[in-house]
Amino acid sequence: MQVDLQSPWRIGTVEIPSRLVLAPMAGVSVQAFRRQGRRYGAGLVCSEMVSCAGLQHRNERTLGYLRIASDEHPLAVQIFGSEPVTMAEAARMIEAAGADVVDINFGCPVRKVTKTGAGATLLDDPQRACRIVSEVAGAVSVPVTVKMRRGLENGSRTCLDVGPRLVEVGAASLTLHPRSAKQMYTGFADHSLTAELVERVDVPVVASGDIAAPADARALLEQTGAAAVMIGRAAQGNPWVLREILTSDSAEPNREEVVAELMVFIRETARELGEQRATSFLKKFYGWYLGRGRFPRQFKAELTQLPTIADVEQRLLIAAPGAADVLEHLEAELPAGEAIELDLPISIYGGG
């Protein structure tokens, strides 16, 4: 069945205005990434995974992940952990911070996470996974969703057994990235499993993995019956791919637009993370934005060597002087910075 990518759908009571979901990506999905994703057509954006233990201990950096801007909604904040009660408490904090959806990570394959009993390992402990979903869903009134891999081992079909059980205990939607945890990012996402999962549950399923072009998205929705597609790596430094997938308009951004969007991204990220942390965090984004044949390799390398963000901005404007006007227009349309910073409720810090 043909699905209009621009048609709305729902997760529980939350209306999602398009069939594109911007993937949660650790080290990538900062507020600037999510806001930009919304501007270019993502119907739902997600935070990177947030540690429930970090929230429990009121870790300052972890709390920073709960900062939500007014123009991000609808937004899912994703949590990872292994203790149902701690995770339920974290979900309450996330709801209080203003998230529209709480998403639970049962997909992270990274050892640092799996060795604590969190992430993809929970697919091999369905009883605990169900207790987590049940506790979290019972703790908040916003919808609770789950993102998972196909299973731990190559060829695993665990997601097809665990998925329906998670729905029974309260998951309002499932996102499937049908690679095994062992595969990490090698091979390909086997979306025949996505189609099978859709058959087995009566909640919306989101398809994640290897979607980078309008044809991929449309074919996947038609062939699997998924409610939406999730875009991850293809959108790194490339919000234009979201517009392209949504509208099939393949117009490439010009150099001025690329530089202006990168500068908005730099400024917002510096405001969110602080100048020092942002300086190193941003380096990978220079390659992502300026790559794809948009600027010479040498130029990208040069930017990563510059000591301050002001130096980077200056160098970018020398390379594309016309970007200053585009930037001015873009910034005029965005909500003011202060409003964004004040969005984190003081109570989250325990009143201190």
Catalytic positions: 108
> Measured at the alpha carbon of residue 33, what is the angle toward residues 76 and 68, in degrees to the nearest 5?
45
Where b means 16+ CB within 10 Å and e means fewer, 287-304 reads: bbbbeeebbeeeebeebe
Judged by CB under 6 A, which of 11, 22, 32, 49 binds ligand FMN?
49
SS3 265: helix
The distance of Cα 115 from the centroid of its chain, to the nearest Å, equals 23
Binders of ligand FMN in range 60-119 (CB under 6 A): 78, 105, 107-108
Give the count of beta carbons closer than 10 Å to the beta carbon of residue 6.
13
Q: Which residue is nearest to ligand FMN (CB)?
A: 232
Judged by CB under 6 A, which of 102, 197, 211, 221 binds ligand FMN?
211
Binders of ligand FMN in range 253-292 (CB under 6 A): none
| Cβ at position 93, least distance to ligand FMN in Å | 18
| Cβ at position 177, least distance to ligand FMN in Å | 4
| Cβ at position 121, least distance to ligand FMN in Å | 14
> CA 29 to CA 35: how far, in whole Å?
10
Judged by CB under 6 A, which of 208, 224, 238, 269 binds ligand FMN?
208
> Measured at the alpha carbon of residue 159, what is the angle toward residues 157 and 162, in degrees to the nearest 5?
120
| Cβ at position 249, least distance to ligand FMN in Å | 20
Judged by CB under 6 A, which of 23, 68, 118, 198 binds ligand FMN?
23
Tokens 């529980």, residue?
A: 12
Regarding 50 and contact with ligand FMN (CB under 6 A), the answer is no
Residue 93 vs 245, nearer CB to ligand FMN:
245
The residue length of the chain stands at: 352
* Pair 259, 267: CB distance under 8 Å: no
Phi-psi region of 58 (alpha: psi -120 to 50; beta: other; left: phi over 0): left
> CA 245 to CA 212: how far, in whole Å?
8
Judged by CB under 6 A, which of 37, 81, 143, 232 binds ligand FMN?
232
| Cβ at position 33, least distance to ligand FMN in Å | 11
Where b means 16+ CB within 10 Å and e means fewer, 28-53 reads: bbbbbbbbbbbbbbbbbbbbbbbbbb
Regarding 54 and contact with ligand FMN (CB under 6 A), the answer is no
Residue 98 vs 232, nearer CB to ligand FMN:
232
Q: Which among 207-215, 242-250, 265-273, 337-345 is the span making contact with ligand FMN, rule CB under 6 A? A: 207-215
Binders of ligand FMN in range 148-177 (CB under 6 A): 177
Judged by CB under 6 A, which of 30, 48, 262, 264 binds ligand FMN?
48
> CA 57 to CA 206: how far, in whole Å?
32
Regarding 231 and contact with ligand FMN (CB under 6 A), the answer is yes
- Residues in the site for ligand FMN, rule: CB under 6 A? 23-28, 48-49, 78, 105, 107-108, 147, 177, 208-211, 231-234
